[in-house]
Amino acid sequence: MKTLKIAIQKSGRLNEKSVELLKNCGLSFENYKSSLISPVSNFPLEILFLRDDDIPEYVQDGIADLGIVGENVIEETEVSVAYLQRLGFGKCSLKIAVTNNSDITDLSGLNGKSIATTYPAILSKFLKKENIQAEIRTISGSVEISPGLGLSDAICDLVSTGGTLKSNGLKPFADVMSSEAVLIGSKGSENDELIQELIQRIQSVLRAKETKYVVLNVEKANLQGVLDLLPGVKSPSVLPLAEEGWVAVHTVIPERDFWSRISQLKQAGAQGIVVMPIEKIIL
Protein backbone atom coordinates (compact mmCIF):
# COMPACT_ATOMS: atom_id res chain seq x y z
CA MET A 1 0.00 0.00 0.00
CA LYS A 2 1.33 3.42 -0.84
CA THR A 3 2.25 5.88 1.90
CA LEU A 4 1.32 9.54 1.62
CA LYS A 5 3.60 12.32 2.78
CA ILE A 6 2.35 15.53 4.33
CA ALA A 7 4.70 18.48 4.86
CA ILE A 8 4.11 20.74 7.85
CA GLN A 9 6.13 23.54 9.42
CA LYS A 10 8.97 22.23 11.63
CA SER A 11 8.78 25.10 14.09
CA GLY A 12 7.08 28.46 14.07
CA ARG A 13 3.61 29.86 14.11
CA LEU A 14 1.90 27.03 12.21
CA ASN A 15 3.65 24.04 13.78
CA GLU A 16 1.57 23.56 16.89
CA LYS A 17 -1.83 23.99 15.22
CA SER A 18 -0.83 21.73 12.32
CA VAL A 19 0.22 18.97 14.72
CA GLU A 20 -2.96 19.45 16.77
CA LEU A 21 -5.16 19.22 13.68
CA LEU A 22 -3.52 15.98 12.51
CA LYS A 23 -3.75 14.48 16.02
CA ASN A 24 -7.43 15.46 16.21
CA CYS A 25 -7.89 13.55 12.95
CA GLY A 26 -7.01 10.44 14.94
CA LEU A 27 -3.48 10.19 13.53
CA SER A 28 -0.92 8.78 15.91
CA PHE A 29 2.68 9.99 15.56
CA GLU A 30 5.61 11.31 17.54
CA ASN A 31 6.19 15.03 17.27
CA TYR A 32 9.97 14.75 17.28
CA LYS A 33 11.51 18.20 17.17
CA SER A 34 14.80 16.79 15.97
CA SER A 35 13.75 14.57 13.08
CA LEU A 36 12.63 15.45 9.61
CA ILE A 37 10.20 12.57 9.14
CA SER A 38 7.74 11.01 11.53
CA PRO A 39 5.69 7.96 10.51
CA VAL A 40 2.01 7.76 11.44
CA SER A 41 1.33 4.38 13.05
CA ASN A 42 -2.38 4.08 12.22
CA PHE A 43 -2.66 5.61 8.72
CA PRO A 44 -0.43 5.21 5.65
CA LEU A 45 1.11 8.64 6.12
CA GLU A 46 4.48 10.18 6.93
CA ILE A 47 4.89 13.67 8.30
CA LEU A 48 7.72 15.80 6.97
CA PHE A 49 8.80 18.71 9.17
CA LEU A 50 10.14 21.55 7.00
CA ARG A 51 10.75 25.30 6.80
CA ASP A 52 7.44 26.73 5.62
CA ASP A 53 9.08 28.42 2.62
CA ASP A 54 9.98 25.00 1.16
CA ILE A 55 6.55 23.41 1.52
CA PRO A 56 4.82 24.71 -1.66
CA GLU A 57 7.66 23.57 -3.93
CA TYR A 58 7.95 20.18 -2.27
CA VAL A 59 4.24 19.67 -2.93
CA GLN A 60 4.39 20.99 -6.48
CA ASP A 61 7.31 18.66 -7.26
CA GLY A 62 5.58 15.65 -5.69
CA ILE A 63 8.18 15.15 -2.93
CA ALA A 64 5.29 15.62 -0.51
CA ASP A 65 1.71 14.74 -1.53
CA LEU A 66 0.17 17.27 0.82
CA GLY A 67 1.26 20.34 2.73
CA ILE A 68 -0.03 22.71 5.40
CA VAL A 69 1.16 26.26 4.81
CA GLY A 70 0.02 29.89 4.84
CA GLU A 71 -1.58 31.21 1.65
CA ASN A 72 0.95 34.05 1.74
CA VAL A 73 3.82 31.58 1.25
CA ILE A 74 2.06 29.88 -1.68
CA GLU A 75 1.38 33.22 -3.36
CA GLU A 76 4.95 34.34 -2.85
CA THR A 77 6.54 31.18 -4.25
CA GLU A 78 4.17 31.29 -7.26
CA VAL A 79 3.86 27.52 -7.48
CA SER A 80 1.12 25.53 -9.12
CA VAL A 81 -0.68 23.47 -6.47
CA ALA A 82 -4.27 22.53 -5.65
CA TYR A 83 -5.95 24.23 -2.69
CA LEU A 84 -7.72 21.38 -0.89
CA GLN A 85 -9.03 22.90 2.34
CA ARG A 86 -8.91 26.15 4.29
CA LEU A 87 -7.92 25.32 7.87
CA GLY A 88 -9.09 28.32 9.90
CA PHE A 89 -5.82 29.00 11.77
CA GLY A 90 -2.71 31.10 11.08
CA LYS A 91 -4.93 34.02 10.11
CA CYS A 92 -3.06 37.20 9.25
CA SER A 93 -2.90 39.97 6.66
CA LEU A 94 -0.08 41.27 4.56
CA LYS A 95 -0.21 45.03 5.02
CA ILE A 96 1.72 48.07 3.97
CA ALA A 97 2.62 50.23 6.96
CA VAL A 98 4.41 53.54 7.45
CA THR A 99 5.80 55.37 10.47
CA ASN A 100 3.28 57.22 12.64
CA ASN A 101 4.65 60.60 11.52
CA SER A 102 4.97 59.70 7.83
CA ASP A 103 3.60 62.08 5.19
CA ILE A 104 2.42 59.07 3.18
CA THR A 105 -1.33 58.90 3.75
CA ASP A 106 -2.65 56.95 0.78
CA LEU A 107 -1.45 54.47 -1.81
CA SER A 108 -0.46 57.12 -4.36
CA GLY A 109 1.85 58.59 -1.73
CA LEU A 110 4.03 55.49 -2.21
CA ASN A 111 5.08 56.63 -5.69
CA GLY A 112 8.85 57.13 -5.70
CA LYS A 113 9.22 55.70 -2.19
CA SER A 114 10.90 52.50 -1.01
CA ILE A 115 9.13 49.58 0.70
CA ALA A 116 10.96 46.88 2.64
CA THR A 117 9.46 43.41 2.60
CA THR A 118 10.09 39.68 2.68
CA TYR A 119 7.24 39.30 0.16
CA PRO A 120 8.60 40.93 -3.04
CA ALA A 121 6.55 38.86 -5.50
CA ILE A 122 3.18 39.58 -3.86
CA LEU A 123 4.05 43.23 -3.28
CA SER A 124 5.24 43.74 -6.84
CA LYS A 125 1.96 42.30 -8.21
CA PHE A 126 -0.04 44.52 -5.88
CA LEU A 127 1.86 47.69 -6.83
CA LYS A 128 1.47 46.90 -10.54
CA LYS A 129 -2.28 46.42 -10.08
CA GLU A 130 -2.53 49.72 -8.20
CA ASN A 131 -0.30 51.44 -10.78
CA ILE A 132 2.29 52.55 -8.24
CA GLN A 133 5.97 52.99 -8.98
CA ALA A 134 7.84 52.23 -5.77
CA GLU A 135 11.16 50.59 -5.06
CA ILE A 136 10.89 47.19 -3.38
CA ARG A 137 13.70 46.42 -0.92
CA THR A 138 13.76 42.68 -0.31
CA ILE A 139 15.10 41.77 3.11
CA SER A 140 15.03 38.45 4.91
CA GLY A 141 13.53 39.44 8.28
CA SER A 142 12.92 42.09 10.95
CA VAL A 143 11.18 44.20 8.33
CA GLU A 144 9.51 46.37 10.97
CA ILE A 145 12.75 48.05 12.01
CA SER A 146 13.76 49.20 8.53
CA PRO A 147 11.94 52.60 8.44
CA GLY A 148 13.48 53.49 11.82
CA LEU A 149 16.93 52.64 10.44
CA GLY A 150 16.32 54.77 7.36
CA LEU A 151 16.38 51.69 5.10
CA SER A 152 12.94 52.29 3.64
CA ASP A 153 9.97 54.69 3.71
CA ALA A 154 7.42 51.94 4.29
CA ILE A 155 7.17 48.23 4.94
CA CYS A 156 4.98 45.42 3.69
CA ASP A 157 4.69 42.71 6.32
CA LEU A 158 2.39 40.16 7.91
CA VAL A 159 0.18 41.48 10.69
CA SER A 160 -2.17 39.59 12.98
CA THR A 161 -2.89 41.72 16.04
CA GLY A 162 -0.91 44.77 14.93
CA GLY A 163 1.11 44.77 18.18
CA THR A 164 4.50 44.48 16.46
CA LEU A 165 3.72 47.42 14.17
CA LYS A 166 2.58 49.52 17.08
CA SER A 167 5.61 48.83 19.23
CA ASN A 168 7.82 49.89 16.32
CA GLY A 169 5.97 53.19 15.80
CA LEU A 170 4.29 52.02 12.60
CA LYS A 171 0.69 52.23 11.39
CA PRO A 172 -0.93 50.07 8.73
CA PHE A 173 -2.72 51.80 5.89
CA ALA A 174 -3.21 49.32 3.05
CA ASP A 175 -4.21 45.63 2.90
CA VAL A 176 -2.32 43.63 0.31
CA MET A 177 -3.73 40.17 1.03
CA SER A 178 -5.32 38.21 3.83
CA SER A 179 -4.11 34.72 4.59
CA GLU A 180 -4.75 31.61 6.62
CA ALA A 181 -3.26 28.13 6.76
CA VAL A 182 -4.48 25.85 3.97
CA LEU A 183 -4.08 22.22 3.00
CA ILE A 184 -2.49 21.94 -0.43
CA GLY A 185 -1.81 19.00 -2.70
CA SER A 186 -0.25 18.53 -6.09
CA LYS A 187 -2.61 19.23 -9.01
CA GLY A 188 -5.10 16.39 -9.37
CA SER A 189 -4.35 14.96 -5.92
CA GLU A 190 -7.89 15.74 -4.77
CA ASN A 191 -9.01 12.61 -6.67
CA ASP A 192 -6.80 10.27 -4.64
CA GLU A 193 -8.82 8.02 -2.32
CA LEU A 194 -6.50 8.26 0.69
CA ILE A 195 -6.26 12.04 0.34
CA GLN A 196 -10.05 12.18 0.16
CA GLU A 197 -10.28 10.24 3.41
CA LEU A 198 -7.84 12.59 5.11
CA ILE A 199 -9.71 15.67 3.84
CA GLN A 200 -12.95 14.24 5.20
CA ARG A 201 -11.38 13.67 8.60
CA ILE A 202 -10.05 17.22 8.60
CA GLN A 203 -13.46 18.60 7.64
CA SER A 204 -15.16 16.69 10.44
CA VAL A 205 -12.70 18.14 12.96
CA LEU A 206 -13.17 21.69 11.60
CA ARG A 207 -16.95 21.36 11.64
CA ALA A 208 -16.87 20.17 15.24
CA LYS A 209 -14.68 23.08 16.26
CA GLU A 210 -17.26 25.59 15.08
CA THR A 211 -20.15 23.91 16.84
CA LYS A 212 -21.22 23.14 20.37
CA TYR A 213 -23.47 20.54 21.91
CA VAL A 214 -26.06 22.39 23.96
CA VAL A 215 -28.37 20.90 26.59
CA LEU A 216 -31.00 22.99 28.36
CA ASN A 217 -34.16 22.53 30.39
CA VAL A 218 -37.44 24.25 29.64
CA GLU A 219 -41.07 24.04 30.71
CA LYS A 220 -43.21 22.35 28.06
CA ALA A 221 -45.32 25.48 27.74
CA ASN A 222 -42.22 27.44 26.64
CA LEU A 223 -40.72 24.69 24.44
CA GLN A 224 -41.74 26.06 21.05
CA GLY A 225 -40.37 29.52 21.83
CA VAL A 226 -36.98 27.99 22.76
CA LEU A 227 -36.91 25.66 19.73
CA ASP A 228 -37.52 28.63 17.43
CA LEU A 229 -34.23 30.07 18.68
CA LEU A 230 -32.23 26.88 18.05
CA PRO A 231 -31.56 25.94 14.44
CA GLY A 232 -29.85 22.55 14.85
CA VAL A 233 -27.81 20.36 12.53
CA LYS A 234 -31.01 18.29 12.49
CA SER A 235 -34.11 18.82 14.57
CA PRO A 236 -33.26 18.95 18.30
CA SER A 237 -34.00 16.03 20.62
CA VAL A 238 -36.60 16.74 23.29
CA LEU A 239 -36.54 14.40 26.30
CA PRO A 240 -38.92 14.34 29.26
CA LEU A 241 -37.46 15.25 32.67
CA ALA A 242 -38.37 13.59 35.98
CA GLU A 243 -40.10 16.83 36.97
CA GLU A 244 -43.60 16.91 35.51
CA GLY A 245 -44.13 19.44 32.72
CA TRP A 246 -40.39 19.94 32.02
CA VAL A 247 -38.24 18.71 29.12
CA ALA A 248 -34.54 18.71 28.22
CA VAL A 249 -33.56 19.96 24.78
CA HIS A 250 -30.35 18.60 23.19
CA THR A 251 -29.01 20.26 20.07
CA VAL A 252 -25.89 21.05 18.08
CA ILE A 253 -25.46 24.65 16.96
CA PRO A 254 -22.74 26.95 15.62
CA GLU A 255 -21.04 28.60 18.58
CA ARG A 256 -21.39 32.10 17.11
CA ASP A 257 -25.19 31.66 16.85
CA PHE A 258 -25.34 30.42 20.40
CA TRP A 259 -23.64 33.35 22.14
CA SER A 260 -25.80 35.87 20.34
CA ARG A 261 -28.94 33.99 21.42
CA ILE A 262 -28.18 33.18 25.02
CA SER A 263 -30.13 36.06 26.54
CA GLN A 264 -33.06 35.42 24.21
CA LEU A 265 -33.04 31.74 25.25
CA LYS A 266 -33.13 32.68 28.92
CA GLN A 267 -35.96 35.10 28.30
CA ALA A 268 -37.85 32.38 26.45
CA GLY A 269 -37.60 30.20 29.59
CA ALA A 270 -34.43 28.09 29.06
CA GLN A 271 -32.68 27.03 32.29
CA GLY A 272 -29.63 24.97 33.28
CA ILE A 273 -27.94 25.62 29.96
CA VAL A 274 -24.88 23.38 29.44
CA VAL A 275 -22.54 23.95 26.48
CA MET A 276 -20.14 21.12 25.55
CA PRO A 277 -17.35 20.78 23.01
CA ILE A 278 -17.75 18.27 20.19
CA GLU A 279 -14.85 16.16 19.00
CA LYS A 280 -15.96 15.31 15.46
CA ILE A 281 -19.03 15.75 13.25
CA ILE A 282 -19.27 13.17 10.50
CA LEU A 283 -21.97 13.96 7.97
Segment (H or E) for 211: strand 211-219
In this complex, which beta carbon is closest to ligand ATP, that of residue 20 or of residue 53? 53
178 binds ligand ATP (CB under 6 A): no
179 binds ligand ATP (CB under 6 A): yes
Q: Which residues of 236-256 are buried (b: 16+ CB within 10 A; e: fewer)?
A: beeeeeeeeebbbbebbbeee
3-state secondary structure labels for all residues of 227-254 = HCCCCCCCCCEEEECCCCCEEEEEEEEE
Segment (H or E) for 50: strand 45-50
157 binds Mg ion (CB under 5 A): no
**197: nearest Cα among 38, 8, 55, 45:** 45
73 binds ligand ATP (CB under 6 A): yes
Please select the residue that binds ligand ATP; options are 16, 20, 30, 53, rule is CB under 6 A. Answer: 53
Q: Which residue is nearest to ligand ATP (CB)?
A: 70
Q: Please state the closest distance from residue 36 (CB atom) to ligand ATP, in A.
A: 13
* Spacing of C-alpha 272 from chain mean position: 33
182 binds ligand ATP (CB under 6 A): no
The entry of Mg ion, ligand ATP, none that residue 62 binds, CB within 5 to 8 Å by partner kind: none
In this complex, which beta carbon is closest to Mg ion, that of residue 12 or of residue 240? 12
Binding mask 144-163 for ligand ATP (x = CB under 6 A): --------------xxx---
The entry of ligand ATP, Mg ion, none that residue 67 binds, CB within 5 to 8 Å by partner kind: none
In this complex, which beta carbon is closest to ligand ATP, that of residue 113 or of residue 125? 125
**101: nearest Cα among 146, 164, 154:** 154
The entry of ligand ATP, Mg ion, none that residue 8 binds, CB within 5 to 8 Å by partner kind: none
**4: nearest Cα among 22, 17, 30, 20:** 22
Binding mask 37-76 for Mg ion (x = CB under 5 A): ---------------xx-----------------------
117 binds ligand ATP (CB under 6 A): no
Q: Please state the closest distance from residue 54 (CB atom) to ligand ATP, in A.
A: 8
* Spacing of C-alpha 164 from chain mean position: 20
70 binds ligand ATP (CB under 6 A): yes
Q: Please state the closest distance from residue 125 (CB atom) to ligand ATP, in A.
A: 17
Asked if 17 and 69 touch (Cβ cutoff 8 Å), the reply is no
Asked if 107 and 31 touch (Cβ cutoff 8 Å), the reply is no
Strand duo 211-219 + 154-159: pairing: unpaired
Asked if 254 and 261 touch (Cβ cutoff 8 Å), the reply is no
Which of these ranges, 24-32, 45-53, 224-232, 259-267, lies near ligand ATP under the rule CB under 6 A? 45-53
In this complex, which beta carbon is closest to ligand ATP, that of residue 159 or of residue 199? 159
Question: Residues 215, 216, 217, 222: what is their CA dihedral angle, to the nearest 10 degrees?
Answer: -120
Binding residues vs Mg ion (CB under 5 A): 52-53
